[in-house]
Amino acid sequence: MSTILTVCAVIVTLAFVALVAQAIVTLKQVCHTAKAVEYLALNADGKLTALDPVIGAVKTVSGAVSSGWFRMAQAAYNLFAGNK
C-alpha cells in the first residue's frame, strides 16, 4: 500500500511542477503581450490625432446625408428628373 501512495505522490508532484512551469511560460507571454499593447497605444495616439480632420469631415457628411435638407433636395431632384 505504501508503494501505491508513493507513486501517487510522485505523479501528483510531477503534475504540479508541470502546471507551475506552464503557468510561468503563460505569464511571460502575457507580459510580452502587455508591453506590445502599451507600445502600440503610445505610438497610435499621435497617429490617430492626425486623422481628426478626416473624422470630422466624415461626421459632417453623414450628418448632411441624414438631415432633412438632403432629403428635400433629393426629392426635388427626383421631381425634376422624372419630368424628362
The per-residue DSSP string of the chain comes to: -HHHHHHHHHHHHHHHHHHHHHHHHHHHHHHHHHHHHHHHHHHHHHHHHTTHHHHHHHHHHHHHHHSHHHHHHHHHHHHHHTT-
Question: pLDDT band at 61, cuts 50/70/90?
Answer: confident
DSSP-derived secondary structure letter, 28: H
Query: Which of 21-30, 53-62, 66-75 comes out lowest in average pLDDT?
Result: 66-75
70 contacts: CB under 8 Å, gap ≥ 6: 64
Residue 4 reports pLDDT greater than 80: yes
Q: At what angle do helices 52-66 and 68-81 cross, to 10 degrees?
A: 60
The model's pLDDT over 8-51, given as tens digits with 9 standing for 90+, comes to: 999 999 999 999 999 999 999 999 999 999 998 888 877 777 77
In the chain, domain spans: 1-50, 52-84
C-alpha cell at 50: 492626425
With a threshold of 0.75, does the pTM exceed it? no
